[in-house]
C-alpha cells in the first residue's frame, strides 16, 4: 500500500491510499501531485462537548453542521474526482481510496477528529460492488487511520463506520464512510465495558469469548462461518436484520488484527453486504444500513479483554417498511424487534451467493 499525504486549499489533511494490485493494467501506483485549486477560506468550525448529568454521557453541540452539503446532483458531488470546470474535495482526476478531514465535523480541534473515507471514485457504485482487493485496501486504510488517530492528544476511541441510504440520513450518495476519533468513551462502549467486567467477576471468563462460543454451539443464528471470521445475528438483536462479525482470535482493534484474518475479511464482508441487498427480493431498492467497527478505547485497563468486531444492521424491517424508533426505543432505550433473530439468520443464509 502506498500512502500519499497532502493538504486541501483550506488546510485540511487529505490522504490517498493506493495499491499496485488496484492500479490496473499499467501496473505501479499513481503519482499524486494534483493541487486543490479551489479558493477556500481556512476552515472555521467549533463544537462543544456537554456532559449530561443525569445519564452520565457526552453530547457534542456542532451548530456549523447546519450548512453542510445536502443531496447535491450527481454532477456536483464533492466526493467525485476533480475535473476541468468541476473542482471537488479530491484534487486528483481519479483515486482508489481517499481519506480527508471532514469539512463539517461533529468533533473539532482538541475535542476529537472526524474524517471522510471514499471507497471508490465510481459515484454509482456501493461497497458491495468493490473487488476483494479494493475492500482490502479500505481495511488497510481503516487500520492506518486507527493507528494514526490513536496518537492524537485527547483521542480515546476510534470508530470507522458507513451510513448507506437516504433512509439512514445520508446526505451524499457517493460510496463513502466516516471515521470518528472520540475524545471520550462512547455510551455504547461504556456499557460493553461494564458488562464485560461484571461477567469476568462473576465467571472468571471473557464475555466476548463466551458469546462467540455460545453462538457457534447453538448454530441457529450463525450466518456465515469462515476460517478466521464468524458472522451471527445476536440472540437479543435490536434491529430487524442485524449481524455481528467477529474474528475468531480476539484482538482489541484493527491494528492488532493478524494477516490471515485480514486476508479473509474482504470475501466475508462483501458476501454479507451482498446478502443484505438480497434480503427483501430483487425488485427492492438497495438495503439501507449502518456498519461500524467497535474497537477498544485506549488507556482503559480492560483494553486487552475487549474484542474487535463489526456490527451491521438495517432499519428496513420488510419490503417497503422501515423500523422507526418510537416511544419505547427513542424515549426509554428499550428496543422492540419485529423480526425474530433466528428468522433473520435463516433469511440471511437463504440469500447466500451461489
pLDDT in tens, 274-295: 999 999 999 999 999 999 999 9
Give me the DSSP letters along 90-135. B-SS--SEEEEE-SS-SS-TTS-EEEEEE--S-TT--GGGS-HHHH
Which of 289, 278, 291, 279 is closest to 245 using CA atoms? Answer: 291
pLDDT in tens, 84-124: 989 999 999 999 999 999 998 988 877 899 999 999 999 99
Which CATH number applies to 2-182? 3.30.428.10
The model's pTM: 0.94
Instruction: Name residues whose C-beta falls within 8 Å of residue 79's C-beta, 6 or more positions apart in sequence.
Output: 88, 89, 90, 116, 118, 123, 172, 174, 176
First to last CA, the chain: 32
Domain ranges (residues) in the chain: 2-182, 187-350
pLDDT of residue 110: 76
Whether 176 is catalytic: yes
The catalytic position among 46, 71, 174, 176 is 176
Q: How many CB atoms lie within 10 A of CB 27?
A: 8
| Contact assessment for residue 314 and residue 338, using Cβ atoms and an 8 Å cutoff | no
Give the CATH class of 187-350.
alpha beta
CA dist 42 and 8 (Å) reads 10
Q: What are phi and psi of 194, to 5 degrees?
A: -65, -50
> Is the per-residue pLDDT at 176 higher than 90?
yes
Q: Do domains 2-182 and 187-350 have the same CATH topology?
A: yes
Cell of 322: 422501515
pLDDT of residue 27: 64
Amino acid at each position: 500500500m502506498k500512502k500519499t499525504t497532502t493538504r486541501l486549499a483550506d488546510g485540511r489533511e487529505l490522504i490517498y491510499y493506493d495499491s499496485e494490485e488496484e492500479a490496473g493494467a499499467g501496473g505501479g501506483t499513481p503519482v499524486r501531485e494534483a493541487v486543490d485549486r479551489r479558493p477556500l477560506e481556512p476552515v472555521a468550525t467549533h463544537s462543544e462537548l456537554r456532559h449530561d448529568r443525569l445519564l452520565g454521557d457526552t453530547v457534542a453541540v456542532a451548530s456549523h453542521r447546519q450548512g453542510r452539503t445536502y443531496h447535491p446532483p450527481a454532477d456536483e458531488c464533492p466526493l467525485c474526482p476533480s475535473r476541468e470546470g468541476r473542482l471537488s474535495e479530491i484534487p486528483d482526476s481519479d483515486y482508489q481510496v481517499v481519506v480527508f478531514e471532514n469539512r463539517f465535523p461533529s468533533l473539532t480541534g482538541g475535542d476529537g477528529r472526524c474524517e471522510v473515507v471514499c471507497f471508490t471514485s465510481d459515484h454509482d457504485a456501493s461497497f458491495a460492488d468493490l473487488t476483494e482487493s479494493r475492500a482490502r485496501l479500505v481495511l488497510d486504510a481503516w487500520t492506518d487511520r486507527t493507528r494514526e488517530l490513536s496518537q492524537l492528544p485527547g483521542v480515546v476511541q476510534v470508530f470507522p463506520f458507513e451510513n448507506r441510504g437516504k433512509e439512514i440520513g445520508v446526505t451524499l450518495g457517493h460510496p463513502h464512510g466516516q471515521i470518528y476519533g472520540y475524545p471520550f468513551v462512547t455510551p455504547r462502549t461504556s456499557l460493553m465495558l461494564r458488562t464485560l467486567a461484571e461477567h469476568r467477576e462473576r465467571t472468571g471468563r471473557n464475555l466476548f469469548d463466551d458469546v462467540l462460543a455460545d453462538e457457534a454451539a447453538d448454530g441457529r443464528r450463525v450466518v456465515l462461518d469462515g476460517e478466521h471470521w464468524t458472522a451471527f445475528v445476536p440472540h437479543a438483536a435490536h434491529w430487524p436484520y442485524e449481524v455481528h462479525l467477529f474474528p475468531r482470535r480476539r484482538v482489541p482493534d484493527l491494528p492488532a488484527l493478524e494477516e490471515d484474518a485480514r486476508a479473509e475479511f474482504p470475501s466475508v464482508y462483501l458476501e454479507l453486504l451482498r446478502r443484505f441487498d438480497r434480503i427483501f427480493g430483487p425488485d427492492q431498492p438497495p438495503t439501507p444500513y449502518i456498519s461500524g467497527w467497535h474497537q477498544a478505547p485506549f488507556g482503559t485497563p480492560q483494553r486487552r479483554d475487549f474484542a474487535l468486531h463489526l456490527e451491521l444492521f438495517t432499519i428496513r424491517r420488510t419490503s417497503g417498511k422501515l423500523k422507526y424508533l418510537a416511544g419505547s426505543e427513542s424515549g426509554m432505550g428499550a428496543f422492540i424487534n419485529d423480526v425474530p433473530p433466528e428468522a433473520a439468520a435463516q433469511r440471511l443464509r437463504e440469500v447466500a451467493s451461489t
